[in-house]
Amino acid sequence: MSTFSGTMWLWLAVTAALGGIVLCKFKKSPGQVGRKVVCLVGLWGGAYLLSPSLSWGLIFFVLFCFLLCTYLPGQEFLPVDQKAVLITGGDSGFGHALSKYLDKLGFTVFVGVLNEKGPGAEELRRTCSKRVSVLQMDITDPQQIKDAHSKVVEKVQNRGLWAVVNNAGIIGLPADGELIPMTNYKQCMAVNFFGAVEVTKAFLPLLRKSKGRLVNISSMAGGVPMEKMAAYSASKAALTMFSAIMRQELSKWGVKVSVIQPGGFKTNIAGTSEMWNKLERDILDNLTPDVQEDYGQDYILKHRDYLKFISMCRNTDMSPVLLDIRHAVSAKRPFAFYSPGPMAYPMLCFVSFSPTSIFDYFNKKLCSFSGGMPKALTKQA
C-alpha cells in the first residue's frame, strides 16, 4: 500500500511539473493556437473519464503534456527579420487591413491593388511606413503580374520573397446557378482561381529561394455548398484544392502552404449598388424567355435583398482573419487549414461528417429567407 502511495506521489509530481512546462509554453504561443489546445484538452478529458483507474488517467495526462510540449514550440512566431510579403487585393477588405497589420509588425510589404490611384492605395501610402510598396496589379492581367514581379525582384534582390498572400477576390450578385450568366462564372474563376494560380506561378521561384510561405485566401463557401453561390463557391473550392495539392508538391522545396477559409466578415467584396445594377441587367439580358417566365422578374430582383441581408450579418472585426494569416506567415509550423469566424469551422465539420440529407435539411432552413419561390413554383402551390 505504501509503495503504491509513493508511486502515486511520484506520478503527481511528474504531472505537476509537466503541467507547469506546458502552461509556460502555452502563454508564449499565439492566441489562435488555443482552439487546437482546447481540442487536445477535450481528448485528454475524455480519455481520463474512460480510464479504469487514476493511474491510467495520470498516464494519459503525461502523454498529453508530452505531446503539447512537442507541439507548442512549433507554433511560436519566427522573427520578422526584414521578411518581405506580397499581398494581392489590397484596395480594401482583408488585403488592405493585412497590409497595415504586417507593416506594423515590421514586415516589408508589397501590396498589389486594382487601382494604384484609388482611395485604398492612397490611404496605404499615407498611413503606412516606407516598408510598404503599392503596386498596380490586376491579377487577371499577365503583363501587370510580370511588371509587379520585376519591381519585387528589384527591391528584395538576394533576400528573396518570404510569403505570397493571394487575397484578391470577387463574389458577384448571388443568384440561382441557372440564372448566373456564363460571363459571371468566368469572371469569378478568372479572379478567384486563375489569377491566384498565375500569381503563384510567377512568384514561386522567389518563395522556393527563401523556403517561405504561400497563403491562399479561400472561403467557408469553398467547402460548404451554399445556395445562390454557385459561381463564387466553385471558384473558391478550386482554390482550396489547388492549395492542398501545392502544399504536398512544395513541401520538398521547404515551402509551406496554407489556405484560409473565413466565415462571414464585412468587406467590400460584395461590391457597390452600381455593380449590383449591372449584374441584375446582365442576368435579365442573358436569360431565355422561358427561363425568365419560370423564375419571374420579381424573384430575380429579390436577390439583392439576400445580398444585403448576408452583408448585415457579417462580422466587422477582421482580427481573427488577420491573426490566422499572421500565423500562417510567421509560425514555425503553420497549419494547412484555418477557418476564422464563429461559424466557419462548425459548418465545415458539419458538411464533412453529417449525412447529406441532414445537411440539406438544415441548410434549406437557414436559407428560407433567400428570396421566396420562383414564379412557376408559386403558381403550382
Q: Is 172 in contact with 231 (CB distance < 8 Å)?
A: yes
The cell for 315 is 462580422
CB-based contact 101:322 (threshold 8 Å): yes
- Locate 76 and state its grid cell: 511560436
DSSP 191: I
CB 226 within 8 A of CB 237: no
DSSP 92-142: SHHHHHHHHHHHHHT-EEEEEES-TTSHHHHHHHHHS-TTEEEEE--TT-H
CA 43 from centre of chain = 26
Give the sheet arrangement for strand 132-136, strand by strand: 132-136, 108-113, 84-87, 163-166, 213-217, 256-260, 337-338
In residues, how long is the chain? 381
* Residue 232 annotated to the active site: yes
What are the cell numbers at 73? Answer: 514550440
Catalytic residue among 71, 101, 185, 232: 232
| Distance in angstroms (rounded) separating the CA atoms of residues 91 and 89 | 6
215 within 8 A of 329, measured Cβ to Cβ: yes
Residue 141: closest CA among 166, 122, 114, 161 = 114
Nearest in space to 179 (alpha carbons), one of 217, 231, 139: 231
Helix then strand count (H, E) for the chain reads 17, 7
- Rg of the chain over all Cα atoms, to the nearest angstrom: 25
Q: Which region, left, alpha or beta, applies to residue 26 given φ > 0 means left and ψ of -120 to 50 means alpha?
A: alpha
Give backbone dihedrals phi and psi of 172, rounded to 5 degrees, phi first.
Answer: 75, -170
Give the residue from 123, 154, 171, 122 showing the smallest Cα distance to 272. Answer: 171
Q: What SS3 class is residue 259?
A: strand
Q: Which residues are catalytic?
A: 232
